[in-house]
Amino acid sequence: MQRVWIKQPLAVFSANDLDASQGIVIEGTQIVEVLGHGQVPSQACNAVIDAKDWVITPGLINSHHHFYQTLTRAWAPVVNAPLFPWLQNLYPVWARLTPEQLHVATQVALAELLLSGCTFAADHHYLFPTQLHDAIDIQVDAAQALGLRVMLTRGSMSLGQNEGGLPPQHTVQQMQVILDDSQRLVERYHQRGAGAMVNIALAPCSPFSVTRDIMRESASMAQSLDVRLHTHLAETLDEEQFCLQRFGMRTVDYLEDVGWLQKRTWLAHGIHFNAQEIARLGQAEVGICHCPHSNMRLASGICPSLDLIDAGAKIGLGVDGSASGDASNLILEARQALYLQRLKYGAEKITPQLALGFATTGSAEILGRSQDLGQIQVGYQADLACYRLDELKFSGSHDPIAALLLCGADRADAVMVAGQWRVREGQIQGLDLEKLKYQHRRAATALMKA
């Protein structure tokens, strides 16, 4: 196997605080040496890369997204809408998605993530109209073409407007259809162990769009198939009120009632919890994906990240859908997390290192990949994001790690996934980006005219 020395980087960020001043040695798909002061590789290397201009982080990990929403960014009718009316306006548009539109939307989301330094992305796809029953298969194909790791969640909506839910009736599915397809996808695509490129999880959409039965059956299936569980929870006060009216309980009580208050669960948003609920979530080691851009765009609130961490919960980071976050840029999401969380907890407690930790070790933990991803450490996968600080906006900066967020890094110069360079000199290898943008613009226009 080829042995590569990424030599003497400008700076290296990793939560374990290892001295990596002399660089990182890659062999095959793994990190085999992390070199500190005065050290050199223990064996000869096939290639040596001068990294003196690079700030290197572990590959960033996006733990919540909706890839298909890249087709409905900045849509005028919902620009100023909070979550529920935002969804009610967009559901009919999204229900018209074709397989071709989903494929190009997924490619754009993944390409944008990759260019920002992301190497592993979780997507929550819950729309399965008749013409889109193979949605997850389409996403697997798109991800494999670009070479990113993915956690693709088989989402679902089973509670339509006729039964008191939020989604239009033509966007919901019967429970057995959902369960059968979920099992098919896990058996066909889910990879286990270190280095897995595709993971599958089960993800009923939200309390206002699925029945109690599908939540319970999904929890049972996840247990038997040993996969993770994902859903939206406690994003808005409207959702809290919905749970009180329909189920007679608050969101965390509902989570426990359906068997989801457990370690394999990670939640998107997790904003509106009281102190007792935070303690219960922590005790159960539930994961929370913080989505700052989306939470600010929809005026949903601020995730109580430090309270959750202190209680024992894990915090990751996600860009959310590109119709609420309006971008799939994870390094910018880390910057937004830094600033939004400082409003709640103060500048002293919320550091650039903490925010970058959300996007690396934190997301790895909540996606069940903390043993092989999210750190620069011997034995971990060779997933790296490398940033240059030579743009005008970085001029005069002193701390390279802090400068990534404080000065607004928004694009990686190089990105490695499983020991393979997927981005070099700011360009995705093997992708005609201009052609992709043209196809995507056409698809977005066609979706609105359908």
Question: What structural domains and CATH numbers belong to the chain?
Answer: 3-58+375-428 (2.30.40.10), 60-366 (3.20.20.140)
pLDDT, one tens digit per residue, over 180-199 is 999 999 999 999 999 999 99
pLDDT for residue 14: 87
> What is the DSSP pairing of strand 384-388 with strand 54-58?
antiparallel
First-to-last CA distance in the chain? 51
Residue-level pLDDT at 235: 97
CA distance linking residue 150 with residue 410, whole number of Å? 21
From the list 8, 60, 25, 109, the residue with the least C-alpha distance to 404 is 60
Long-range contacts of 132-135 (CB under 8 A, 24+ apart): 132/97, 132/98, 132/99, 132/102, 133/181, 134/99, 135/99, 135/102
pLDDT beyond 90 at 16: no
Q: In the structure, what pLDDT confidence band is assigned to residue 97 with cuts at 50, 70 and 90?
A: very high
Q: In sequence order, which ranges of 205-262 are alpha helices (DSSP H)? A: 212-225, 237-247, 251-257
Residue 252: is it exposed, middle or buried by C-beta count within 10 angstroms (0-12/13-18/19+)? buried
Residue 242 has pLDDT above 90, yes or no: yes
Cut 0.85: pTM above it: yes
Q: In the predicted model, what is the mean pLDDT of residues 395-400? A: 98
pLDDT for the residue numbered 127: 95
Per-residue confidence at 15, pLDDT binned at 50, 70, 90? confident
State how far the Cα of 5 lies from the Cα of 298, in Å rounded to an integer: 45
Is 384 in contact with 376 (CB distance < 8 Å)? yes
The pLDDT score that the predictor gives to residue 17 is 81
- The rounded distance, in Å, linking the Cα atoms of 59 and 29 is 13
* Rounded distance between C-alpha atoms, residue 385 and residue 219, angstroms: 35
Q: What percent of the chain has pLDDT over 70?
A: 100
- Distance, CA of 124 to CA of 367 (rounded, Å): 13
CA gap 149, 77 in Å, rounded: 34
- Compute the average pLDDT of residues 314-330: 95
